[in-house]
Amino acid sequence: EVQLVESGGGLVQPGGSLRLSCAASGFTFSNYWLDWVRQAPGKGLEWVANIKQDGVEEYYVDSVKGRFTISRDNAKNSLYLQMNNLRAEDTGVYYCARSSAEYSSSSEFSDYWGQGTLVTVSS
Amino acid sequence: QPVLTQSSSASASLGSSVKLTCTLSSEHSSYIIAWHQQQPGRAPRYLMNLEGSGDYNKRSGVPDRFSGSSSGADRYLTISNLQSEDEADYYCETWDSNTHVFGTGTKVTVL
């Protein structure tokens, strides 16, 4: 069974940093692109970033470029999101998601989602 | 970058049908999309992917009541024999050059 479990959320002041983690199991982690998707309170889904199987390629939504860094450790079956210079508008639930196509050279739709971790940016 | 347009809400009676629309920007009208369901207080769940031809592939375990279809830039999700557990937000997703975009979501209310 595919499982994605996020952790690391919490309350942080504006300008602060936080590192989210996603522990994966039930599939061959190193064969898939992985994504972070967030959801502000009462709002819709927003794609944040993704990373290729080998970690060589990373892509970001414009609003987080230069502040967030996605990374992965295939030996630990883990995905990360380092968030720096956090803003109030970064508040929300952050989901880890798996891209559907195994071995694909390009990212595709998300077919499995974690339960999410809440990030609150407030003074 | 593709843009996905969804109506904000839809409602239908228990046991009836509802058809949700996700419209792609015109220059991306051939793109594949995915439909996701988010029940209240829960994480999103992938339902199916849907091609411009109307062909779709559902996730294992998704009831037969859920089906997909397409017409031009429009991608549809039809829920037949609506059940109370279908009350949820429904999002479409597409991607281009390894970046993704979601529609704004449609809230389905079961009357």
> A95–B100: do the CB atoms touch at under 8 Å?
no
The arithmetic mean of pLDDT across residues A65-73, rounded, is: 98
DSSP letter, residue B8: S
- Residue B96: what pLDDT? 94
For Cα atoms A32, A36, A39, give the angle at the middle one, nearest 5 degrees: 145
Residue with tokens 């999103």: B44
* Assigned token pair, A41: 């309170």
Tell me how far apart the alpha carbons of residues A12 and A3 are, in angstroms, rounded to a whole number.
27
Which amino acid, residue B32? I
Nearest to B46 among A57, A61, A112 (CB): A112
Which amino acid, residue A69? T
- Residue A4: what pLDDT? 98
In angstroms, how far is the first alpha carbon of chain A from the final one? 40
> Do A71 and A50 touch, CB atoms closer than 8 A?
no
- Residue B33: what pLDDT? 97
- Counted across chains A and B, CB pairs separated by less than 8 A come out at 69
The helix, strand and coil proportions of chain B, stated in percent and rounded to the nearest 5, come to 5, 55, 40
> A109–B32: do the CB atoms touch at under 8 Å?
yes
> A108–B95: do the CB atoms touch at under 8 Å?
yes
pLDDT tens per residue across span B24-82: 999 999 999 999 999 999 999 999 999 999 999 999 999 999 999 999 999 999 999 99
In this predicted structure, which of A81-85, A106-110, B70-74 has the lowest mean pLDDT?
Answer: A106-110
Tell me how far apart the alpha carbons of residues B24 and B14 are, in angstroms, rounded to a whole number.
29
> Do B59 and A111 touch, CB atoms closer than 8 A?
yes
Residue with tokens 């380092």: A82
Tell me how far apart the alpha carbons of residues B63 and B78 are, in angstroms, rounded to a whole number.
12
Which amino acid, residue B45? R
